Structure formats: structure tokens, C-alpha cells
Amino acid sequence: MKKITRELEQINSTFEYGRSLGIVRAVAKNDEYDGRNIMLNGKETVFFGNCSYMGLDQNEEIKSAAKDAIDKYGMYFSSSRTFVGLELFEQMEEKLEQMFNKPVNVTTSTTFAHISNLPILIGRNDAIILDNYVHSSMQTAVNMMRNKGDHVELLRHNRLDLLEERIKILGAKYDNVWYMIDGIYSMMGDGAPMKELAFLMNKYEQFYVYADDAHGTSWIGKNGVGYVLNEIPFHEKLFIGMSMSKGFGTGGGLMVYPDRASKELVKNLGKTMIFSGPPHPAAAAAAIKSAEIHMRPEFADLQLDLKRKIEYFWKKAMQLNLPLSGNYRTPIFFIGSGSTENTAFTSKMLLDSGFFVSPCTYPSVPKNKTGIRITLSRFITIQDVDNLLEMVNNIFIQLETAGKLDREVIKKTFLEKNTCDLVAI
Ligand SMILES: Cc1ncc(COP(=O)(O)O)c(C=O)c1O
């Protein structure tokens, strides 16, 4: 077997342990899938790891649009759009531009969006600051910039006090300073401080923000424009990578630009725009239908339905004194468990009781912030939330009795300013 580093070996052995328990790399043996139930170990299990927040992946209008597109165009149009693409792809972009009211490019993934955007938008004499909780896809794209010799530095999560210092220092040496963030952070579910960042963009001419709002897409904002654009109006120095694979329900990535010139530049020169294939026709037609649904007045009712469940979850978790990672009301909740062993134990007990949650350990979260990540989709019922949280509470009582878990200690860990750096693997 290939030799790996000691650190990777440790991570891999934790992973293999999780695998032996069936809590990671689980395989859902569903003959049919409805968004709520997954068949694990021969048992119906409530899926609390689903990021299809709005439930649109199961929408009949969207599914039918996708099927029509396959009938009309086949499974795939195999040419880079740089040479030739279907008109359907242009129509997809146009519809998304109506939804966002800004220029848009589409890609087959959000990772590809970052890889196309960054080398074109960020100048050779610009500096890049990464929030150290930013998603791995962004770290990958930024590492490509680092390899080209760009100045890259990590900043502790959300430390805007440190950020302003760095803007001043780096601004004296570089043309521009870019801050790379997630809109909604994918593990802990917290939102980036957009209003404060808008203030800094206004204060410092050289300061730009690039946000990955994959987990903010669809469930919030008018027409589902996402977390970032719900917090602040579009800014001329703001660039956003979004996802169609989560709340949007159809698969793929997209990028929203403050101006048409930036869009066209990336469309002409972006690496994955030139060297990778176009969206699947089924995904393009599905995206057009999903964008139409986002723009209907009744879409706000769907958002409200999910928000009601989010609010209920939060209240119930507080009532039970469960150690949430913070005071956030998003479809991603994180409950700390205090140790990797407790995380594995809790996830396995939940699985055996008919609930699937995502166990999170280093390096997806800092070493001292391990726990379970729970996502809420519209498929989840209030009764499901009650059942899950009561069960988590029972498991935690068991761990407390054994002297293995202390809720107050875990809560304090989440209150501490972030001191632990994450690595990208
Ligand atoms: C915040 C964030 N950005 C990007 C991605 C990667 O998306 P994609 O699979 O479309 O590349 C993910 C994946 O889950 C994510 O959570």
C-alpha cells in the first residue's frame, strides 16, 4: 500500500473506525428515495444529513423538465462551451440572471466555479486572506494561486479585528486584498458577518470579498438569492460562488458577478470554462425550472416552512440544554460532543435508533470541536425533530453518567475565540 503521512494515517484510522460502525461512507439501499428516508442496514432511517434544504430535488415540475431535456438532447452534449454549447445553457444562464438580477456563469460544480474565478479575478500583485473555516473547495482553488506565487495567509475564523489590521498592512504592499469566506459555514452553520464586511469594503478601496454561499443558496433571501445577498445589497467589490446542489435542488455550481465584464472575462478565460464540459442537459433544464419556481411569490411560503422547522429545532435544543455550536438559525446545526469517541458513540446510537446524522471530527472541524452535524430539509417533520433531539439528550445523559461528557465544558469551547487552525487534505 502507498505510504501516507502520520497525520493522514491518524485521520484514516478514525475514518475506518467510523466505517466499521456504519456511520461514515454509509450506503443507502433505497429502491426509491423521497428525501426523508434512507435505507441503512435494512432499516428506514430519517435522513438528517440532507442538504437539499428546500426539497426541490423531488419536485415533480423539475423532474419532468429534466426528463424532457433528456428526450430532446440526450444525456450529454460533449463539447466545451468555448467551442460550442447548446442554446439551453444560455437559457439557463439567462434565467439565473433574472433570479439574481446580476450577471451569472454556470459550472458543473462550485469547486469548478472557484477554480475558474480566482485566477482571473485576483491580480498577480494582490494578497489573499483565507478565513480558516472556509470550505475546502476554496482552499483548493487558493492553493493553486499560492503555487503560482501569490501571497496567501490564513486568518482565524471571523476575526474582523485582526482582518482590519491585515488590510492596512497588506494594502501598503499589494494592489488589492481579497478576503475569502463562506456565506454560511458548512460545518457549524454560522453566517459570515456581511454587514461589517460591507463596511470594510466601503472604508478600504483595495478590499474585496469573495464568498462561497453554497449553503446559503435558496432557503433565504428574496427569490432564494442566498444568505450573503439577504444580508447586504450587491457590492461592486463582492463576488459570490453559489451551489445548485443543495437548496436549489438540481446539481452544479454558479457564480454571480457585480458586473457583466467580469462575467464575460471568466466565461472566456476561466480554466474550467475552457477545459471542462458543460452542464448535463437534464441539469440545465431542471435549473431553469427551479429558478422559475424560486421567482414565484409562493416560494416565500416554502422558505417560511423551513424557517419554522429551524426555529423549532433551535428552541427544543435550547430547552434540552444541548451544546449547540452557537446561536444560529440556519438549516445546519452542530451539537458538540467533547471527544471523537463520544461523536462516534452518539452517531452509532442514533443510527441504531433510526436517525442518520453526520459525525464530524478533525480535519473537517477543529480537534476540540468535534460533534454531530444535523441538517434540516423541508422533508423533515417537527415530530422527527422532537424524536431526534430527545434521543440525543438521552445519549448525552448516558455519557454524563459515565463521566465522559460535560455540556458546560463543551459550550465554553464553542464560546472561545477560534484558536485552532484547520488543514486542507
Ligand atoms: C461551502 C461549500 N462550497 C463548495 C462545495 C463543493 O461543491 P461542489 O460539489 O459543487 O464542488 C461544498 C460541498 O458540499 C460546500 O459545502
**Cβ atoms < 10 Å from Cβ of 312:** 15
Pocket of ligand 1, candidates 52, 212, 243, 375: which has the most ligand atoms within 8 Å of its Cβ, to mutate?
243
Structural contact between residues 141 and 128, judged by C-beta atoms closer than 8 angstroms: no
> Considering only CA atoms, which of 242, 263, 259, 239 is closest in space to residue 178?
239
- Is the CB of residue 272 below 6 angstroms from any atom belonging to ligand 1? no
Q: Which atom from ligand 1 is nearest to the alpha carbon of 243?
A: 10
Separation between Cα atoms, residue 159 and residue 14, nearest integer Å: 30
Q: Cα of 138 to ligand 1 centre, how many Å?
A: 9
Q: How is residue 297 written as a grid cell?
A: 411569490
CA 252 to centroid of ligand 1, rounded, Å: 9
Is there an atom of ligand 1 within 6 Å of 346 CB?
A: no
- Where in the sequence of the chain do the CATH 3.40.640.10 domains occur? 59-295
Q: Does the Cβ of 109 fall within 6 Å of ligand 1?
A: yes
At residue 425, the pLDDT reads 38
Question: Quick one: three-class SS letters along 109-155?
Answer: CHHHHHHHHHHHHCCCCCEEEEECCCCHHHHHHHHHHHHCCCEEEEE
Q: How far is the CA of 399 from the centre of ligand 1 (A)?
A: 33
Whole-number Å distance between alpha carbons of 312 and 4: 45
In this structure, which residue's CA is closest to atom 7 in ligand 1? 110
62 Cβ closer than 6 Å to some ligand 1 atom:
no
109 CA: nearest ligand 1 atom: 10
Q: Which fold has domain 59-295?
A: Aspartate Aminotransferase; domain 2 (3.40.640)
Does 214 sit in the ligand 1 pocket, CB within 6 Å?
yes
For position 137, what pLDDT does the model report?
Answer: 97
Nearest residue (by CA) to ligand 1, atom 15, is: 214
Q: Counting atoms of ligand 1 from 1, which one is nearest the CA of 246?
A: 14
Distance separating alpha carbons of residues 182 and 242, to the nearest angstrom: 10
Rounded Cα gap, residues 328 and 334, in angstroms: 10
Residue linked to cell 428552541: 315
Report the relative pairing of strands 127-131 and 151-155 from DSSP bridges.
Answer: parallel
Fold of 6-57+299-415: Aspartate Aminotransferase, domain 1 (3.90.1150)
Does ligand 1 come within 6 angstroms of the Cβ of 253? yes
Question: Which pLDDT value is given to residue 418?
Answer: 62
Domain boundaries for CATH 3.90.1150.10 within the chain: 6-57+299-415
User: What pLDDT is attached to residue 1?
Assistant: 72
- Give residue 220 CA to ligand 1 midpoint distance, Å: 18
213 lines ligand 1 (CB under 6 A): no
What is the reported pLDDT for 2? 75
CA distance 269 to 82: 9
Residue among 137, 244, 276 to mutate when testing ligand 1 (max atoms within 8 A of CB): 137
Gap between the Cα atoms of 225 and 87, Å rounded: 24
For 114, other C-beta atoms within 10 Å of its C-beta total 26
Instruction: Identify the pLDDT of residue 391.
Output: 98
What pLDDT sits at residue 304?
98
**Rounded distance between C-alpha atoms, residue 321 and residue 396, angstroms:** 10
Question: How far apart are the C-alpha atoms of 91 and 26, rounded to whole Å?
Answer: 37
Each of the 425 residues of the chain gets a pLDDT tens digit; together they read 778 898 899 999 999 999 999 999 999 999 999 999 999 999 999 999 999 999 999 999 999 999 999 999 999 999 999 999 999 999 999 999 999 999 999 999 999 999 999 999 999 999 999 999 999 999 999 999 998 899 999 999 999 999 999 999 999 999 999 999 999 999 999 999 999 999 999 999 999 999 999 999 999 999 999 999 999 999 999 999 999 999 999 999 999 999 999 999 999 999 999 999 999 999 999 999 999 999 999 999 999 999 999 999 999 999 999 999 999 999 999 999 999 999 999 999 999 999 999 999 998 999 899 999 999 999 999 999 999 999 999 999 999 999 999 999 999 999 987 655 554 43
373 CA distance to ligand 1 centroid (A)? 16
Answer whether 131 contacts ligand 1 (Cβ < 6 A): no
Sheet strands (E) in 148-259:
151-155, 177-182, 207-212, 238-243, 253-256
